[in-house]
Amino acid sequence: MKEAKTNKTNAARILDKEKIKYDLVPYEVDENDLSAIHVASQLKEPIERVFKTLVLQGNKTGIFVCVIPGKEEVDLKKAAKFSGNKNCDLIPMKEILGLTGYIRGGCSPIGMKKNYPTYFHHTATEFDYIYVSAGIRGLQIKLDPSSLIKCCRAEICDLIIEEKEEED
């Protein structure tokens, strides 16, 4: 099931230890476009299946993680509410490596330096598989979302900014 030539990341080793099935899927990195939309196009998958990992800081609980669909934006009010904070914000880019062990464009919800509270947007559970970063740029993990959510000890909630429906 796993690709033979791809080096295992810390995230993949954790999934192995937990006996969770997954595929490591490489893609071509564009240093000028680290977006999940680019990743989805490289994987030839719908963007709805490619999730991005965001690291936030709440005013009460400190650091926490939100995993949301790749083309969406986190709703900071919802994220604060679900994480037990009055308010929160994305952590500055320069702090990601020190807090998580990962760099921008390669931040996985699996295997961060600490087990931060983690929240998945509820649409992850609508699929038989999703993609998240394997912990390095150029490599995604394809796996069953329920296994991933269990591995991350995550909660499911509504985390994204909802677009208003346009009338025809």
pLDDT in tens, 144-156: 999 999 999 999 9
Q: Which of 102, 155, 157, 135 is nearest to 14 (CA)?
A: 135
Question: What pLDDT sits at residue 87?
Answer: 97
CATH topology of domain 10-157: YbaK protein (3.90.960)
Residue 2 has pLDDT above 50, yes or no: no
Under DSSP, the state recorded for 160 is: B
pLDDT of residue 3: 42
User: Are the C-beta atoms of 11 and 141 separated by less than 8 Å?
Assistant: yes
**Residue 116: phi, psi to the nearest 5?**
-75, 150
Is the model more confident about 70 or about 3? Answer: 70
Residue 161 confidence (pLDDT) above 50: yes
C-alpha triplet 67, 72, 75: angle, nearest 5°: 75
Tell me the domain boundaries of the chain: 10-157
Q: Tokens 């650091």 correspond to what residue?
A: 63
Structure tokens belonging to residue 18: 């937990």
pLDDT at 162: 87
Q: Structure pTM?
A: 0.92
Q: Which band of pLDDT confidence, cut at 50, 70 and 90, is reported for residue 163?
A: confident
Structure-derived torsion over alpha carbons of residues 68, 74, 77, 78, reported in degrees to the nearest 10: -20
Query: 3-state DSSP call for residue 93?
Result: helix
State yes or no: pLDDT of 4 exceeds 90: no
Instruction: Give tens-digit pLDDT for 51-102.
Output: 999 999 999 999 999 999 999 999 999 999 999 999 999 999 999 999 999 9
Q: Output the pLDDT for position 165.
A: 54
- C-alpha 160/C-alpha 46 separation (Å) is 18
| pLDDT score of 5 | 54
